[in-house]
Structure 1
Amino acid sequence: MPTIQELRAAKNKTTYLLEQEIDSGFYSELSNSLDKNERIKLAKEIVRHRDSSFPTLITKLSEACFKDKGPEFIRKGASDFLANILIELVKEAELKKDERQQFVKLFTQNKEASYPENYQFPPEVAYIFSKIHKVATSFDKKNGKERLVSSSDLGEVSEDKTDQEDAYSAKLASNLANKVFNVMVLDATPEEDLQRISLKLQGAVASEEKLSTYFREHIPAYPPSFADGYYLQRMLKYDTAIDQIEEKIANSAWKLGGFDFGFGFFQGGVKLDGVQNRVPHRVAKMYQLISEFRDKKGQYSEQDTYQLYVDIQKCAQEALENPRRGQKQSTKEFYNDVLNDVYLGTGEFEVEDDERARLVY
């Protein structure tokens, strides 16, 4: 059985969760035993490292959440582990947009107490929501059959009356709205505007039926083939960023500090293997990490690629927080570029596919 302690210690949280049996009891622990800051930290790590197995993880967590909380899903209770993951996923996708197209901006500018009609859900978010919706409908069918058996035993309904309220899917849009999008809006709202925006949000989510219609009309559902193309492009984008960082390190003329001992001048930094130019120590560490990765000669996973990128960023963070004597401005700018994903870029991945349906809620 999985434990919170093992999850904390796992190098790859997604792999750990996929390998374990997540029942409603453990899911409840994930949501209630971890404090808010730790849940958010874990959620960010999972979203940051996500690969082609991410939709499978979302499906698995959704099943556990429905079993634990019923139709109220992520909305039931003060805290929810899956809700934290979904918030981080949507936030990341929103940051790749022009601010004028972001949900928070559009909602606050909307004169009506409703979700903005001109908002477009990001492709990956739409795909992940469709995976959750599929789980919800499976719970509707399962519970519908259970209701039928129970009611038939009592002679209360006939077989043609199995189409009762589909509570799991009917409430899904409302649950996502309240626990993901409303939270994002409130987090971004200045204190002096909280009361006004809170009332506006209450009006926007008052009708489950209207929210279901909104999600159905605004979320394009991609076919199953979407995931293969999307997550491949995502990994290739990280590969390219690592290539660019490696090239920058190897081919730049780095300015280094030094020490004058009176009898001679000692230049700082270290030499790269096979390269005459000296580079700052943390820059050399980045290069070493990349070289060790290359030595695997393709024997690495998607997660290894993401972990390398994170480790490179950790080097940059350490260099900025604990700069060595004589750190130059140009080197500092390089570290900031690495931390701010300049080499990764901020544009959304484009996946061309003519087969588009509408996600039904």
Structure 2
Amino acid sequence: MIPHDCPHTTYATWSVFFGSPLRDLLHRLPDAQETERLREAMADLARHAPVEGTDTLAVVSPGSTQPGITSGAGGVRAMIELVSEIESLANERALPVVEFGNVRDEPAWAPLHRILRERGYVPVVTGADAVLDVPATGLDAYFDGFRSHRRKVLRKERARFLARQPDITLLGPQGLTPDLVDLQLDRYRRYGHEADARAVRDRFERAAAVPGLRVLRADGEDGPLGFVAFYEDLAHRRIVPRLGAFSTEDRGSYFNLAYYELIAHAARGGGFRIHYGESTYGAKTTRGCRLTRLVSYFRAADPLLHGVLTAAGAIRSDLEEREIATAEGTFAAS
């Protein structure tokens, strides 16, 4: 249940359609006139969707989660029953909106896409998961997958970082040491997230409590250069980064830890699929990631609100598709 005044707004209905994700997308449009036109259109739609009327019952799968009920005999019947029960629960609790978040644009998820569309849900592209399939043959094989010029750039980036002779270690949850708190907090603040040291320490503790957490970190003479905390899903051959921060004094620390060192680790394990998540598509596609669209579905009980979500969802989806297409075009040209 996500009330309209919930402090965590990632999946809150009003925020998805009219909040900071939309404002950021509009801000990045190159055409000022189009930006203003769309801003006015969304503001007009928002007037017909008061935030206090958007309490939501949300069913959200993390962007990198594998489908569960879509496989095996009776999978489609089970999905239909579950969706029906979820809708009944929303009605019982007088929640005006039902949401299914992060439905992946992959064949295994096709039945759920179809069921939700047939039941009248509004599909909204809310982002994409950047996925990298790591070759088991090693980091050199990864570099060899790029064109000559790009390959030289990546290898030079790697060489510059190694020339600093960082101390690179792979640890378990104990790798989330207190000296990483300020590094993580600085990254949150640089990206506009409200946080303090206590909140970061709390997140470290919660992440460490989940089985499978590993911490890949690099330290220099003056302290940590960066780290990536990730989960290893051995059953599905996946690596899912969940935390990470990097020195602003050495831009190469990000790419070397989040990509080259993590890729080398995945290769040593026989090859994994790394899920890099949403945002910064350009940086991810130019390092070999493919983008898998994530679609959220919404259905409002009130026809007027449902119509507003339909119109606003079309605009949000179009803006997201432009971002994805731009990133994919950057990779093709690199």
Instruction: Please state which band the TM-score falls in when normalised by the shorter chain.
Output: under 0.3
TM normalised by structure 2 equals 0.26
Greater RCO, CA 8 A, separation 6+: 2
Greater strand content = 2
Higher helix content, 1 or 2: 1
Q: Given the two structures, how large is their TM-score scaled by the length of structure 1?
A: 0.24
